[in-house]
Amino acid sequence: MTEPLLRASGVGKRFGGFVALAEIDLDLQNGERLGLIGPNGSGKSTFVNCLGGVFPSHDGSIAFAGHALHGLAPHRRARLGLARTFQLPRPFAGMTVLENVTVPLLYTGTPNAAEATARAYACLEQVDLAPRARLLPRQLSQVELRRLELARAIALNPSLLIADEAMAGLSHSEVDQILALLFRLNAAGTAVIMIEHVMRAVTEFSERLVVFVAGRKIADGTPRDVLAMPEVEEAYLGTRAAA
């Protein structure tokens, strides 16, 4: 068996007395499509923040692309190819859409300004934002902001993309847009962890589904198997009806 792209072992995180995450073991292979679901407050975002380096101190260990991530600052993880988007889009509000995507390129291997700008434009083309390149983020629609987040992540040439609720609040066709983007990205070789509440997207996209409840992993398998589990249905009362 090949070395997994991502290996989380015994990851846990406490805030004072509150246990947000406990004993999470998770492996991810190259190019895999993993869905991560769970009720609000189940620790999904905490887990993402541990992966991303926002919470530098946590129990357990995380290895990515053969590197131990312990002690690595977020920007170093990004350089290793670990990209993430944020639940609420966080664009750089004071600069153009194009400059938003130029920033990561400048700092991850393309220090030449002209070259970085050209590559940024290409990333924008991948997410169909090229016509909006000279606008400011506040002039973009919600789904366009999500695409900008993805463009910024793509600029890192990631081997893993963590899409944190990238489809929250979007319409049916907008969800399809984002889904198509993620499929394209995955086809090019990027593993994707999709954290979502939009069940349709998760079931369509994931090869594998993981469920967090109250900071623990309670299920890990194919979407069909996992969604059939009584514990999962219990944690997600009404899931079947909503999907």
Partner 1 sequence: MSEAALAAPPGLAAPPRGGHAVFWGGAALLAVALIAALRLLHNDYAWFAGYFILQYVVLASAWNLLGGYAGYVNFGAAGFMAAGAYTTIVLRKALGLDLLPCIAAAACVSGLLGLGMGWLTLRLRGVYFAIATLSLAVVLHTIIVNWDYVGGSRGAYVVPSRDTAPFVTHGEYVFVVMLVLAVLAVGIARMVEKSRLGLGLAAIRDDERAAEAAGVPTLRLKLIATTLSGALMGVAGAPLPHYSAYLNPEAAFSLAYGVNAIAMPLIGGAGTWAGPVIGALLLGTLQQAATVMISSALNLLVVGCVLVAFVALAPHGIIGLFRGARR
Partner 2 sequence: MDPDLALLLNGIVSGLLLGGLYAAAAAGLAVSFGMLDIVNIAHPALMVAGAFAVVVISTATGIDPLLAAVLQAPLFWLVGAGLYSFYNRAFERRGDEALHGLAFFFGIMFIIEVLLVMYFGADQRFVEPPYAYVTWRLGDIDFPLRMLVPGAVAMAAIGALALFLKRSFAGRAIAGVAQDPEALRLLGIDPVRIKRLAFGISVALAGVAGGALVVVQPIDPWSGHVFIGRVFAICILGGMASLGGTVIAAFAFGVVENLTATFYGPSWSPAVAFGCLLLVLALRPQGLFGTAP
Q: Which does residue 15 touch among partner 1, partner 2, none (CB within 5 to 8 A, set by kind)?
A: partner 2
Closest CB 189 distance from partner 1, rounded Å: 19
Closest CB 166 distance from partner 1, rounded Å: 14
CA distance 40 to 45: 9
Q: Which does residue 113 touch among partner 1, partner 2, none (CB within 5 to 8 A, set by kind)?
A: partner 1
Helix (H) or strand (E) holding 74: helix 74-80
CA distance 83 to 80: 9
Closest CB 55 distance from partner 2, rounded Å: 8
Pick between residue 80 and residue 235 the one whose CB is nearest to partner 1.
80
Q: Are 69 and 63 in contact (CB under 8 A)?
A: yes
Pick between residue 159 and residue 226 the one whose CB is nearest to partner 1.
159
Q: Which does residue 35 touch among partner 2, partner 1, none (CB within 5 to 8 A, set by kind)?
A: none
The bridge status of strand 82-84 relative to strand 160-164 is parallel
CA distance 153 to 150: 5
> Residue 57, class by beta-carbon neighbours within 10 Å (0-12 exposed, 13-18 middle, 19+ buried)?
exposed
Closest CB 72 distance from partner 2, rounded Å: 17
Residues that bind partner 1 in the complex, under the rule CB under 8 A: 52-54, 73-75, 78-79, 83-84, 86, 90-96, 98-99, 102-104, 106-108, 111, 113-114, 116-119, 121-122, 125, 130, 133-134, 152, 155-156
Q: Which does residue 139 touch among partner 1, partner 2, none (CB within 5 to 8 A, set by kind)?
A: none
| 149 Rama class: left (phi>0) / alpha (psi -120 to 50) / beta | alpha
CA distance 237 to 70: 37
Pick between residue 104 and residue 223 the one whose CB is nearest to partner 1.
104
Residues that bind partner 2 in the complex, under the rule CB under 8 A: 15-16, 57
Pick between residue 16 and residue 238 the one whose CB is nearest to partner 2.
16
Pick between residue 108 and residue 206 the one whose CB is nearest to partner 1.
108
Q: Which does residue 44 touch among partner 2, partner 1, none (CB within 5 to 8 A, set by kind)?
A: none
Q: Which does residue 151 touch among partner 2, partner 1, none (CB within 5 to 8 A, set by kind)?
A: none
Instruction: State the angle between helix axes of 97-107 and 142-154 in degrees (0 to 180), rounded to the nearest 10.
Output: 20
CA distance 9 to 20: 16
Pick between residue 130 and residue 229 the one whose CB is nearest to partner 1.
130
Q: Are 47 and 11 in contact (CB under 8 A)?
A: yes
